[in-house]
Structure 1
Amino acid sequence: MSGDHKTPSLSRRGLMAGVGALFAASTMRPVVANAADDKAPAPNTIPPSEALGRLKAGNARYVANEPKATDFSPGRAARTKVQHPIAGILSCADSRVPPEIIFDQGPGDLFVSRDAGNVVSNYGLASFEFAVANLGVPLILVLGHTGCGAVAAALGASTSRKELPGHLPELVKAIEPAIITAHGKHPGDFLAASIEENVRLGMKRLKTKSEIIGKAVNSGKLQIKGGIYDLKTGSVTFV
């Protein structure tokens, strides 16, 4: 009798153990799959040249008034968890210079910081450090534009020695080195030359004022480029 009672008891234990093992195996599969997914390269793990090529292609579509048809809704839920921008853009705060439209890119494609005169502020610098170290952007583009009012104001204040109100003197001071360089290089069109030199100044400051960004550039993981957006034609000339 005692043997008859023990046998079914052991069978139940064996059955429960088997079910437990099966359950554990089934729940582990997604975990392993997710771990594999985490090791897969991020969508923006691309050469800087490819990121720049996408911006150039997007700008060409914008100039031709042939933007790509985009349905923003499918990726909206995914973007609540992660972002993989292909480029950081430092652009002027001018309302006529919207980077996502100029380069025909959608939500999550560009990491944008905007200040009047596309100057490199401490907050902007910290933002791009985050974009490089945490988001892995392979490219930062400093984007100036024709007829920039901030550069024109800095140019006027520099030549007339007139003090501007509020915090504008700080902006003038940030842009003034570009004006000095432009005066020595391109005395013809002083404003256009100052705008270009201001872009170059921004590129230099990003490289030299941040150890995080500088290391990424030196390792080849990141490139810093410059461009000037033409308000009239919509095209970007890269410098």
Structure 2
Amino acid sequence: MYILRTKKAKQYITCIILLATLIILIGCTAPQNNSNVSNAETREASKEVAVIEISPSNSFELLKEGNARFIDDKAGIKDISLERRQTLTEGQHPFAIVVSCSDSRIPPEIVFDQALGDLFVVRLAGNLVDSVALGSIEYAAAVLESPLIVVMGHEKCGAVIATAKGEEVPGSIDSIVRIIQPSVEKVKAMGVAGDELYEKATDENILNSIEEIEKSPIVKELIGTGNLKILGAKYILETGEVKFFSEVD
């Protein structure tokens, strides 16, 4: 009987020790959880500050810096983690709107070395701006408060070349040609021909798209308040450089 009681006593003591250990472990992990919450709140606060501080000028600098990294083969590692994607489910704050040609060689996110949620991209062949594209631009500028619009064309644009050559095109491709045609005719009237015609017409087409965007009352109002800027740009295929037509003060 004595031996039996001793074994039960030992079991009882062991249970007490295990319970005490569990309480200590719970107590030790509690501050760590609070720290995680605090870190998460800090990260969220930092994101909010970044959104508030963004402006046309520093958006322009971010694009230039990103393109410089791309040119030098020093593109950064992009955060495409689950955590980043989950953060973006709460909303988006793209710092720039890029209107570009659909050409597979000039994806804006890569050309400007940016990550998920950084750019609001509108792409149509010939970097054209129709009513749907304009509505998309207005949404990004007015609702998402992106402070910079860049209309980016590129060298040897097939849409411009086809228009300049006057070639017959099938299907709805003709709708692209009709929009680009005025830019081509304007440059032809200057006596320009050949490859120079293609490139100058491309530049003129970029400017024409900018004019279309500026006709928007929403865009016009935002430009008037100084909260929005529009720039033209051209991508150089061989070097990867994006040449901006102007700067942001």
Q: Please state which band the TM-score falls in when normalised by the shorter chain.
A: 0.7 to 0.9
Per-residue deviation at 1:214? 1.3
Out of 211, 218, 222, the residue aligned to residue 204 of structure 1 is 211
TM-score by length of 1: 0.78
In the alignment, residue 64 of structure 1 is paired with which amino acid?
D
Is 2:179 aligned against 1:174? yes
Q: Which residue of 2 aligns with 1:72?
A: 80
Equivalent residues in 2 for 1:56-135, closer than 5 Å: 56-73=64-81, 74-135=83-144
Show CA shifts across 1:10-37 (max 9, x none): xxxxxxxxxxxxxxxxxxxxxxx9xxx7
Distance in structure 2 (CA, Å) of the matches to 1:109 and 1:145: 21
Whole-Å separation in 1 of the counterparts to 2:244 and 2:230: 11
Greater displacement, 89-98 / 64-73: 64-73
d(CA) in 1 for partners of 2:65 and 2:109?
A: 13
In structure 2, C-alpha distance between the alignment counterparts of 1:186 and 1:71, rounded to whole Å: 50
CA distance in 1, matches of 2:89, 2:155: 36
Q: Tell me how far 1:175 sits from its aligned partner.
A: 0.7
Shift in Å, 1:126: 0.5
Amino acid in the other structure paired with 1:62: F
Unmatched tracts of structure 2, length 5 or more: 1-40
Aligned-pair identity (%): 39
**Is the alpha carbon distance of 1:180 and 1:172 closer, same or farther for their aligned partners in structure 2, counting shifts above 3 Å?**
same
Query: Is the Cα contact below 8 Å between 1:45 and 1:138 reproduced in 2?
Result: no
TM-score by length of 2: 0.75
Distance 1:49 1:98 in 2: 22
Displacement of 1:179 after TM fit? 1.1
SS of the aligned residue for 1:107 comes to: coil
Structure 1 consecutive aligned stretches of length 4 or more whose deviation exceeds 3 Å: none
Q: Structure 2 matches for 1:155-234, cutoff 5 A?
A: 155-157=164-166, 162-185=167-190, 187=192, 189-208=196-215, 210-234=216-240
**Counterpart of 2:76 in structure 1: which amino acid?**
K
Question: Which of structures 1 and 2 has the bigger CA Rg?
Answer: 2
Q: Which consecutive unaligned segments of at least 5 residues does structure 1 have?
A: 1-32
The answer to whether 1:236 aligns with 2:242 is yes
Equivalences for residues 2-21 of structure 1 within 5 A: none
**Residues 45, 136 of structure 1: 8 Å contact kept:** no
User: Do the aligned partners of 2:79 and 2:115 also contact (CA within 8 Å) in 1?
Assistant: no
